[in-house]
Amino acid sequence: MALRRAANIIEKWDHLFHIVGQHEEIIKKRWSNKSKPKRKALLLEAWPNMSAMHCPDVARWMSKSPGPTPIPEGRHDKFLEPFLWPYINLEDMCKTDSLLSMLNSRARCAPDTFVSADLLSINFGIRVGIIPQIDLRRHFMIFRGRDRPETYGQLYSSDDNHDDIKSEPTRFFYTPGDGLCILHIQSRIYEFLFGCCTLILHDMPPEMFFPAPHTNPPDTPARTKSEGTEILSDTEFKERYKEQGDADFGRVVTLVKAELSRAEDHLLALREDPGYFVASMKDRYEHMHERLLDNNDEPHPTSLNGQADVFSGEVIRFQVVEAVEHVSRLRELIGADSPAFSPDRDLPSKLTDALFDANHFILRSMRSFLKKDIFRLGVYCSPPIRGQFRRPSLGNLYPTVENLPVIQWYNSDFTEAKETLLKLLDMVTNGAMLTVMGYRGIVTEIDLLIKRASELKHLISPWVAEKISTIGVLLECLHQIRLFEPWILGYEMQYFHHKDEREQIWQDAHRSCTRLFSNELQFWHGLSPLLDNFKDEAFDYPTQKPPSEKVTVAKRLAEDTLDTFWTAVVRSLKNNNALPSRPAFVFCLDLQRTPVWTEPPKATKKGKKKADKIEDAFDKLMIEVRKENAMMMKERKKTSSAEDSPIESFQVDKRTLKVFDVLLFDGPDPSRLGEVSWADFVHSMTDTGLDATKMFGYVWLFRPSDLESDVGDGILLMEPYNTGKLTHVMARHYGRRLRAVYGWKRDMFTLAS
């Protein structure tokens, strides 16, 4: 059977190679001009009873009853079809690009190019126990570089001393169970694609399918770097029907650095900005397990009178520890080498270690992010869906991190789409299920589901969206490393032999992080009176009010209260050796503080007539500020020496200038600043020459579009969830981040003529 399938694969690929090479433009035109019903009819003729909906494997698994599902007698292939070919379904294949991309890539690239991707596509069916596995120990199959039926997927024994085995130094081997699945999958796919071609070219005689002898089809078009705005979930969907790309280590380094910068800026903003601190604390408060009712519909004891300090202390504890720990763990990911060698030979040992270390540290960072079900509890307790869950009644007011409550489903009256989303959220918070659909799979499906059913968007809170975005960044890094084949395929074997050693390295690097949660509970609970339970009237930070003596006093009082809080936190963490070096560095940075109020100088009468023509005080203020900035720029140019680098400047449109007037505001009165829509913000970033990529969740990566700047500075910024507009607090925070990462100031932007 294996030989017959291998022969069918090679034969049908040879036919596709010539048909698509000679008639691709005709196929494109005819397919693009077909209506959706006609496309559906053609697909069903080429693949009878094709699955109807997107992700049929997940849908079938979610709909099946708990426990093992027996396969009906005589219907083995039919039952397994959604799990073996999840991307072959009418909903996806009826789209214009899916079939055309699949024909282009499968015809122009040899079948062994797709072996890894085809095996990955059935990972879900294997992991959930639907696809049976054949166990033939001490045997393996080889596909790479094989283009003849008798050698494609050839079976070897590990005891063999065959020359073919010696010629495979990178050990690009597959188990017999996986190898037989690959042959089964590819045989059906090439049959299907050949059938589609013959149906599309139905009026063409068979002898015209093939070119004259010695006629070569056109080369495969080169992949080009995307420009402008990219939606990563859409890219991932399209790449399912294309050949596998190369690993982009520049993207990995950019993402890790940008995520570290985002984590550090978040920690610094918590330390520096009372408004940001209170907003973040309130957000964390809404995602604590104490917010859930118990099985008797009773509130948690800490929400009753007299226990508010305990609850507030728990919120402080989780928020501070999560922020500090995230910075420390991300710092360890910086510094991996970017290997680039021929797949025909092994990597040097140092580069192999660097590759495996990077892969291992990212995996461990993600597992730490998901540890102890803290994130999962936050999802269940989020305001949009907490009514669907209940917690068990507790005797202990605040259980330890190692003994958090088990959340139970309370209301199962869901629509099909809502139930699918909740199950996907459950999978993304579960370390064992997170990669069951590949590194990009589950986060892609969440994005695509919300895109198809926009009414589900309100079920994900901004806090949950931000956490999913962080997971998405780490998963994208793992995806890029996985593309570094064949060498990365040896990671699991290498990890198996050096598991204890690598785990010890990880533990040593993060020893101080393990002490973060072990700080005395009474310490955290004792901090809550400093914040007076986060009441707005007691913790006022009036950044949007016009400057006055009263406003200045209120701002300085809020800043002093925050300083007192963080001084106590940092002292305690240091005393317990629980403050990692990188967060300690962040805490040592200079803080922006409101100066003591001084009466502004009275305006002179000179020039009053001209100023009276300006009715809007804010417009007048902006003109004065820009005049001062222009004077400073002139002075700077006069005094700069010849060897100094020129100051970067941007000529931008009116829409962009309006955005940076708000984000990089450098005047004395911010009370009249308008809101910034996210669409305007993305436009402004691309107007400065940055490429924009919407990652998974709601985080965007902005980085230089220059092809030579792959490891240049990138910045990750969260899209405002559900509102589409940046709040005043977030606008100030993003302005600080742009100054820190790119050194941007308001006077660097001028209106293009």
Each residue's pLDDT tens digit, 140-164: 888 888 889 988 998 888 777 666 6
Helix (H) or strand (E) holding 389: strand 389-390
Has residue 537 got a pLDDT over 80?
Answer: no
Helix (H) or strand (E) holding 584: helix 581-587
341 in the same domain as 208? no
Only one residue has tokens 């790309």, namely: 245
Has residue 375 got a pLDDT over 90?
Answer: no
Cα distance between residue 479 and residue 242, in whole Å: 16
Neighbours of 249 (CB within 10 A): 22
Please answer whether residues 505 and 736 qualify as being in contact, where contact means their C-beta atoms are separated by less than 8 angstroms. Answer: no
Tell me the pLDDT band of 327, cut-offs 50, 70 and 90: low
Tell me the pLDDT band of 325, cut-offs 50, 70 and 90: low
Domain assignment present for 18: yes
pLDDT at 67: 47
* Helix/strand/coil percent split, the chain, to 5: 55, 5, 35
Average pLDDT, the chain: 78
For range 532-546, the mean pLDDT: 66
Please answer whether residues 464 and 382 qualify as being in contact, where contact means their C-beta atoms are separated by less than 8 angstroms. Answer: yes
pLDDT in tens, 108-128: 999 999 998 999 999 999 988
676 in the same domain as 734? yes
Please tell me which residue, 381 or 305, carries the higher pLDDT value.
381
pLDDT in tens, 627-652: 544 454 445 444 444 344 455 788 88
What are 247's strand-pairing partners?
A: none
Tell me the pLDDT band of 524, cut-offs 50, 70 and 90: low
Has residue 613 got a pLDDT over 50?
Answer: no
Please tell me which residue, 526 or 30, carries the higher pLDDT value.
30
For residue 731 the two structure tokens come to: 């606008």
Q: What is the CA radius of gyration of the chain?
A: 30
Please answer whether residues 389 and 407 qualify as being in contact, where contact means their C-beta atoms are separated by less than 8 angstroms. Answer: yes
Domain assignment present for 570: no
Has residue 626 got a pLDDT over 50?
Answer: no
* DSSP reduced 3-state for 142: strand
For residue 298 the two structure tokens come to: 């009773």
pLDDT at 728: 84
pLDDT at 621: 43
Tally the domains of the chain: 3
259 in the same domain as 304? yes
Has residue 132 got a pLDDT over 90?
Answer: no
For residue 685 the two structure tokens come to: 């970033």
Has residue 225 got a pLDDT over 90?
Answer: no
Which of 215, 241, 259 is the last residue before a domain boundary? Answer: 215
Cα distance between residue 553 and residue 564, in whole Å: 16
Which residue type sits at 536? D
Q: What angle do CA 262, 263, 264 make, to 5 degrees?
A: 90
Domain assignment present for 404: yes
pLDDT at 10: 94
Please answer whether residues 752 and 652 qualify as being in contact, where contact means their C-beta atoms are separated by less than 8 angstroms. Answer: yes
202 in the same domain as 261? no
Tell me the pLDDT band of 710, cut-offs 50, 70 and 90: very low
Phi, psi of 650 (to 5 degrees): -130, 130
Task: Quote the strand ranges of 614-706, DSSP E.
Answer: 650-652, 676-677, 690-694, 699-704
No. of helices (H) and no. of strands (E), the chain: 30, 13
311 in the same domain as 182? no
Q: What angle do CA 714, 718, 722 make, to 5 degrees?
A: 155
pLDDT at 41: 97
Domain assignment present for 346: yes
Cα distance between residue 294 and residue 298, in whole Å: 5
What are 230's strand-pairing partners?
A: 693
pLDDT at 214: 43
Chain centroid, CA 666 distance in Å: 33
CA distances to 551, 559, 728, 732 from 543, in Å: 8, 12, 9, 10
Show Cβ contacts of residue 459 under 8 Å, excluding neighbours closer than 6 positions: 384, 385, 418, 421, 422
Helix (H) or strand (E) holding 19: helix 2-33
pLDDT at 293: 81
For range 332-357, the mean pLDDT: 59
Buried b (16+ CB within 10 A) or exposed e, 507-533: eebbebbeebbebebebbbebbeebee
Has residue 669 got a pLDDT over 90?
Answer: no
Which residue type sits at 358? A
43 in the same domain as 105? yes
| DSSP conformation class of 695 | -
Has residue 222 got a pLDDT over 60?
Answer: no
pLDDT at 210: 65
Cα distance between residue 535 and residue 531, in whole Å: 8
What are 676's strand-pairing partners?
A: 726
210 in the same domain as 256? no
Four-residue CA torsion sign, 19, 25, 26, 30: positive
DSSP secondary structure of 328-353: HHHHTTTT-------TTSPPPHHHHH
Which of 471, 498, 528 is the last residue before a domain boundary? Answer: 528
206 in the same domain as 296? no
pLDDT at 406: 63
Share of the chain above pLDDT 90, in %: 24
For range 239-248, the mean pLDDT: 85
Which residue type sits at 188? R
pLDDT at 174: 85
Has residue 618 got a pLDDT over 60?
Answer: no
Contacts by 555-562, CB closer than 8 A, 24 or more apart:
555/274, 555/594, 556/593, 556/594, 556/596, 558/274, 558/275, 559/274, 559/593, 559/594, 561/274, 561/530, 561/531, 562/271, 562/272, 562/274, 562/277
Show Cβ contacts of residue 418 under 8 Å, excluding neighbours closer than 6 positions: 456, 459
| DSSP conformation class of 131 | S
Cα distance between residue 424 and residue 58, in whole Å: 10
Domain assignment present for 326: yes
Has residue 304 got a pLDDT over 50?
Answer: no
Helix (H) or strand (E) holding 178: helix 176-200
What are 704's strand-pairing partners?
A: 690
634 in the same domain as 518? no
Has residue 509 got a pLDDT over 90?
Answer: no
Has residue 50 got a pLDDT over 90?
Answer: yes
Please answer whether residues 542 and 554 qualify as being in contact, where contact means their C-beta atoms are separated by less than 8 angstroms. Answer: yes
264 in the same domain as 207? no
Tell me the pLDDT band of 401, cut-offs 50, 70 and 90: very low
pLDDT at 181: 94
Helix ranges (DSSP H) in 109-175: 115-121, 123-127, 163-166
For residue 512 the two structure tokens come to: 């101080």
Please tell me which residue, 360 or 141, carries the higher pLDDT value.
141
pLDDT at 320: 61
Tell me the pLDDT band of 103, cut-offs 50, 70 and 90: very high
What are 139's strand-pairing partners?
A: 157
| DSSP conformation class of 391 | B
Region of residue 390 (left: phi > 0; alpha: psi -120 to 50; beta: else): beta
474 in the same domain as 621? no
Has residue 577 got a pLDDT over 60?
Answer: yes
256 in the same domain as 184? no
Has residue 400 got a pLDDT over 60?
Answer: no
Which of 506, 528, 550 is the last residue before a domain boundary? Answer: 528
Helix (H) or strand (E) holding 141: strand 139-142
Cα distance between residue 77 and residue 58, in whole Å: 17
pLDDT at 220: 47
Which residue type sits at 248? D
For range 160-182, the mean pLDDT: 72
pLDDT in tens, 456-466: 999 999 999 98
Cα distance between residue 72 and residue 150, in whole Å: 33
* DSSP reduced 3-state for 562: helix
Share of the chain above pLDDT 70, in %: 72
pLDDT at 496: 67
Q: For the ranges 66-80, 106-120, 212-226, which has the lowest average pLDDT?
A: 212-226
Q: What angle do CA 735, 739, 744 make, to 5 degrees?
A: 105
Domain assignment present for 581: no
Cα distance between residue 443 and residue 649, in whole Å: 38
Please answer whether residues 629 and 747 qualify as being in contact, where contact means their C-beta atoms are separated by less than 8 angstroms. Answer: yes
For residue 45 the two structure tokens come to: 């003729």
pLDDT in tens, 180-200: 999 999 999 999 999 999 999
CA distances to 414, 444, 508, 601, 671 from 462, in Å: 22, 18, 34, 44, 26
For range 324-350, the mean pLDDT: 55
For range 222-230, the mean pLDDT: 54
Q: What angle do CA 451, 457, 462 make, to 5 degrees?
A: 125
HSE-CB at 698 with a 13 A cutoff on CA atoms is: 19
Q: For the ranges 109-118, 393-402, 550-559, which has the lowest average pLDDT?
A: 393-402
pLDDT at 644: 47
Has residue 732 got a pLDDT over 50?
Answer: yes
Q: Which domain holds residue 289?
A: 249-528
DSSP secondary structure of 83-114: HH-TT-BHHHHTSHHHHHHHHHHHHHS-GGGG
Dihedral, CA of residue 389, residue 393, residue 398 and residue 404, to nearest 10: -50
Tell me the pLDDT band of 611, cut-offs 50, 70 and 90: very low
Domain assignment present for 226: no
Has residue 131 got a pLDDT over 50?
Answer: yes
Domain assignment present for 544: no
